[in-house]
Amino acid sequence: MGKTWPLQDAKARLSELVRAAEKEPQFITLRGNEKVVVVSASEYRRLHEVGGDKSFYEIWRSAPTVPEFELPPRPNEPMRKIDFE
């Protein structure tokens, strides 16, 4: 896993961030939460070629099936009420 950069540091040290991203993904955080990942152009192309122009649904549908896998039946109970106040 690559280095994590607070946004302020990423802006101030952009050249260093780009050089590091050529070796491994770099994570940029905003207020402590990961927001974006910077990857090299070659890694981006590799990841993009995996799916090509297919949608997520098309990729998901083309995945191999696992015949022995079966979801358990849903319980036949009424839904619980949730208070959104």
Q: How confident is the model at residue 56 (pLDDT cuts 50, 70, 90)?
A: confident
Phi, psi (deg, nearest 5) at residue 84: -95, 15
Domains of the chain by start residue, with CATH: 4-61 (3.40.1620.10)
Q: How many CB atoms lie within 10 A of CB 26?
A: 23
Convert the pLDDT of each residue in 58-81 to its tens digit: 877 887 877 787 788 888 888 888
Q: Which residue has the higher pLDDT, 7 or 74?
A: 7
Cα torsion angle, 54, 60, 36, 20, sign: negative
Length of the chain (residues): 85
pTM: 0.58
